[in-house]
């Protein structure tokens, strides 16, 4: 009998535990909950703590009350100037009304799907009315505020409060990038050629000026050299004239000796001259008084030169 009572007591305790397990639930401080009875809404729980529901009849759906994010895929959008942009966005939102959220999208996956569609439509509508230069300028902040306002208004019907929508990145498509890079490259090449042409012009101008200055300097130096050479030769002639003017006979003799040296210095020199030619005036007489005289006449000056 005692064993049967013990078994019954354990069964009752187990039932009580199961009922208590299904009757009590805890809402975390980062959560909010909906209590449903056979799918019908009963109440919303916003405060954290231990809560009670009807076991086996009611169930609880939990939703995060923290700020959530959504990262839609990049998409191509045509701006007002008919230029395409690849826009990458992200958004932050919070579940404001759990019941409306449950009835509209049911869970976070459904919410992100609906928000992605709303953000895409808003992006196309707002960016389709502005130029690409506006997206890439200081007007970008205003554009993001406009997109956030539109998405916020449309998401309110889903029980969602959209906090912010941001354009993370806005780039040209790959094919447009290649065309722009090619145009930039050709522009840089044109500028480089222009700079080279200007450099060649400056270099040619500098060379021309340097060549002209060189020609002027050489001409001036040559003129000065000719003047100095003429002055030197004049001085030389004057010195020779002053030196040989003191003894005209010696000067004539010296010049004749130079003429003999220049005329008779070759190995195969042949001269056909008359014996009494003026050229031989100093051959027969050192004084040069006669040319081609007798041998005795030539000897007398030699003998006379031996006398003291």
SS3 string, 260-306, reads HHHHCCCCCCCCCCCCCCHHHHHHHCCCCCCCCCCHHHHHHHHHHHH
pLDDT for position 302 = 34
pLDDT for position 269 = 65
Per-residue pLDDT at 109 exceeds 70 = yes
pLDDT for position 280 = 67
pLDDT for position 81 = 85
CA distance 296 to 284: 10
Q: How confident is the model at residue 52 (pLDDT cuts 50, 70, 90)?
A: very high
Per-residue pLDDT at 120 exceeds 60 = yes
Per-residue pLDDT at 80 exceeds 60 = yes
Q: How confident is the model at residue 266 (pLDDT cuts 50, 70, 90)?
A: low
Share of the chain above pLDDT 90, in %: 53
Residue 307 has, within 13 A of its CA and on its CB side, a CA count of 5
Average pLDDT estimate for 103-109: 94
Winning range, highest mean pLDDT, from 18-22, 88-92, 238-242, 269-273? 88-92
Residue 246, helix vs strand vs coil: coil
Average pLDDT estimate for 73-83: 88
pLDDT for position 179 = 74
pLDDT for position 288 = 60
CA distance 146 to 164: 11
CA distance 237 to 6: 159
More confident residue, 4 or 76: 76
Give me the residue spans of the domains in the chain: 2-64, 68-177, 210-246, 247-263+275-298
For residue 24, what are the β-bridge partners?
52
CATH 3.30.479.30 fits 68-177, yes or no: yes
Per-residue pLDDT at 308 exceeds 70 = no
pLDDT tens digits along 283-297: 666 666 554 444 333
Per-residue pLDDT at 275 exceeds 70 = no
DSSP code, position 258: H
Is the pTM higher than 0.75? no
Average pLDDT estimate for 244-264: 74
pLDDT for position 283 = 64
Average pLDDT estimate for 30-58: 93
């Amino acid at each position: 009998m005692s064993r049967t009572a013990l078994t019954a007591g354990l069964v009752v305790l187990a039932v009580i535990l199961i009922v208590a397990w299904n009757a009590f639930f805890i809402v975390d401080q980062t959560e909010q909950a909906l209590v449903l009875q056979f799918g019908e809404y009963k109440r919303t729980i916003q405060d954290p703590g231990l809560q009670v529901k009807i076991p086996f009849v009611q169930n609880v759906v939990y939703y995060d009350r923290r700020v959530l994010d959504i990262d839609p895929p990049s998409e191509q959008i045509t701006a007002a100037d008919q230029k395409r942009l690849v826009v990458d966005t992200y958004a932050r939102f919070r579940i404001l009304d759990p019941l409306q959220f449950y009835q509209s999208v049911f869970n976070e996956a459904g919410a992100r799907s609906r928000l992605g569609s709303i953000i895409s439509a808003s992006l196309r509508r707002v960016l389709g009315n502005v130029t690409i230069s506006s997206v890439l300028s200081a007007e970008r902040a205003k554009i993001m505020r406009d997109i956030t306002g539109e998405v916020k208004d449309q998401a309110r019907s889903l029980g969602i409060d959209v906090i912010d929508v941001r354009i993370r990145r806005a780039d040209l498509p790959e094919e447009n990038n290649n065309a722009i890079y090619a145009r930039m490259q050709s522009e840089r090449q044109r500028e480089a050629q222009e700079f080279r042409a200007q450099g060649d012009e400056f270099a040619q101008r500098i060379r021309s000026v340097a060549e002209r200055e060189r020609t002027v300097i050489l001409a001036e130096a040559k003129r000065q050299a000719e003047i100095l050479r003429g002055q030197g030769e004049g001085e030389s002639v004057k010195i020779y004239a002053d030196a040989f003017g003191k003894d005209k006979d010696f000067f004539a003799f010296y010049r004749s000796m130079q003429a003999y040296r220049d005329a008779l210095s070759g190995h195969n020199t042949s001269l056909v001259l008359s014996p009494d030619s003026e050229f031989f005036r100093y051959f027969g007489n050192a004084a040069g008084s006669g040319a081609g005289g007798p041998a005795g006449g030539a000897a007398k000056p030699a003998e006379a030169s031996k006398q003291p």
